[in-house]
């Protein structure tokens, strides 16, 4: 393999060796060979991380052949399903649906691998829901000496480190997830004045099972999205309506706005206001994963910050205002999550969280805007999303995570020679 690129196309590397093992024994062989040659090992999922967390000049492992459901154990509240690490979320959703099961919460993109999404604490929205790592009950991992080990609740310290490991503890080959019976969501999209959303932000987040909103810089309108569990019959979008909404507006229309903005940055305020006028009410009832997840063809880079939920309104106001000072054609996204203590490096560790994400269209300058967003987020005690761009280093990150040293101790035990590292991991973990 000459060169690997991420989904956006702005992170790349030329690994000395590219491996695509077909089973766990093949992963063991790759890790032991790397140990004998002194090369580091990184694992590529689907390339949906926006940082250089994967990039390596050592051994790059792709787990696309380790996919599908390995085992299923029914429980009183759903099931524990064990899946190959390289399983894409959309594949898992389809298989679970056929079994009458579902993930209780998902992000809006389903192209990531299960292991990659878990490793970076990928999340959806919902004030009572944790990130995807909180659903992990066990992992199978190949450690630095080539040992295959199962990490489960019998070793809670290691499991808490391995749920969000950034690929720094070993190669995860399977993940056991706690899933729930399949359910439907009543989805409602509604444009609202931003001031009204911010004044009622806590009530909106608490009243709905899943609440989020999007807003463009240079505009005063937010598109709110509420998803609530329902027992009413499915009323999915019709084919024509879905094409208008998903293909014409969210992808082709937004892509055209972004390309025009890249060509003529002075037109961005007008373009964003025009885009905001296209926001329209919509409603449907459908299987959960079809509501949670959307198709995305507009390529961008992203930064996202997890802040205390109590700071939500003030943080959004400040970041929205900052967006107006830069060439930004893509909306700010605001989501919510519950506090957890399931993973030492969880950005939601021990506090209810508001997630604020900022996006820049591919090929446009991102660092000045993202640096401004980072400064605002840090003023509200923000923690970065591990799969998104940020400019922080380990010495500044460590004080933000009360269990930082506990993660470091597990890492020292599992990978004392730093086999699973790269410049990004060194920068953020030390």
The tens digit of pLDDT for each residue in 352-368 reads 999 999 999 999 999 99
Which of these, 349, 387, 339, lies nearest to 167 by C-alpha position? Answer: 387
Which of these, 383, 392, 253, lies nearest to 331 by C-alpha position? Answer: 253
Cα 207 to chain centroid distance, Å, stands at 24
Distance CA 424, CA 42 (A): 11
What does the pLDDT read at residue 239?
Answer: 76
Residues of the chain with confidence (pLDDT) below 70: 1, 244, 248
What does the pLDDT read at residue 1?
Answer: 58
Pairing of β 383-384 and β 300-308: antiparallel
What does the pLDDT read at residue 121?
Answer: 98
The beta-strand segments (E) located in 153-203 are: 171-181, 184-193
Q: What is the pTM of this model?
A: 0.96
What does the pLDDT read at residue 278?
Answer: 85
The beta-strand segments (E) located in 22-109 are: 41-44, 59-62, 69-75, 78-84, 101-102
Which of these, 206, 229, 228, lies nearest to 128 by C-alpha position? Answer: 206
Distance CA 230, CA 269 (A): 39
């Amino acid at each position: 393999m000459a060169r690997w690129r991420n989904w956006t196309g702005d992170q790349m590397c030329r690994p000395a060796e590219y491996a695509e093992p077909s089973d766990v024994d093949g992963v063991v062989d790759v890790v032991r060979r790397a140990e004998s040659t002194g090369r580091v090992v990184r694992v590529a999922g689907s390339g949906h991380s926006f940082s250089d967390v994967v990039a390596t000049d050592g051994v790059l492992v792709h787990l696309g052949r380790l996919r599908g459901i390995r085992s299923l154990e029914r429980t009183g509240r759903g099931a524990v399903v064990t899946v190959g690490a390289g399983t894409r979320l959309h594949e898992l959703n389809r298989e679970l649906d056929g079994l009458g099961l579902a993930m209780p919460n998902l992000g809006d993109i389903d192209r990531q691998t299960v292991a990659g999404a878990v490793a970076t604490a990928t999340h959806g929205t919902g004030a009572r829901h944790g990130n995807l790592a909180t659903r992990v009950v066990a992992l199978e991992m190949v450690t630095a000496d080539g040992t295959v080990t199962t990490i489960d609740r019998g070793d809670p310290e290691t499991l808490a480190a391995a749920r969000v490991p950034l690929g720094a503890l070993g190669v995860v080959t399977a993940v056991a997830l706690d899933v729930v019976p399949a359910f439907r969501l009543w989805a409602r999209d509604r444009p609202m004045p931003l001031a009204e959303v911010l004044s009622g932000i806590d009530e909106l987040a608490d009243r709905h099972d899943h609440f989020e909103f999007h807003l463009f810089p240079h505009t005063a309108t937010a598109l709110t999205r509420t998803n609530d569990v329902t027992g009413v019959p499915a009323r999915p979008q019709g084919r024509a309506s879905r094409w208008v909404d998903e293909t014409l507006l969210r992808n082709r229309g937004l892509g055209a706005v972004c390309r025009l903005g890249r060509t003529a940055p002075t037109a961005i305020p007008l373009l964003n206001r025009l885009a905001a006028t296209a926001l329209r009410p919509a409603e449907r009832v459908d299987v959960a994963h079809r509501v949670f997840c959307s198709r995305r063809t507009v390529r961008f880079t992203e930064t996202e910050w997890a802040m205390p939920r109590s700071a939500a309104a003030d943080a959004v106001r400040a970041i929205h205002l900052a967006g107006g000072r830069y060439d930004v054609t893509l909306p700010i996204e605001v989501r919510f999550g519950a506090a957890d203590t399931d993973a030492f490096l969880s950005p939601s560790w021990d506090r209810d969280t508001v997630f604020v994400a900022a996006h820049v269209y591919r090929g446009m300058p991102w660092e000045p805007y993202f640096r401004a967003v980072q400064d605002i987020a840090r003023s509200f005690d923000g923690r970065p999303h591990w799969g998104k761009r940020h400019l922080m280093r380990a010495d500044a990150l460590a004080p933000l995570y009360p269990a930082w040293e506990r993660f470091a101790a597990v890492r020292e035990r599992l990978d004392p020679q730093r086999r699973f590292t790269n410049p990004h991991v060194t920068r953020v973990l030390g």
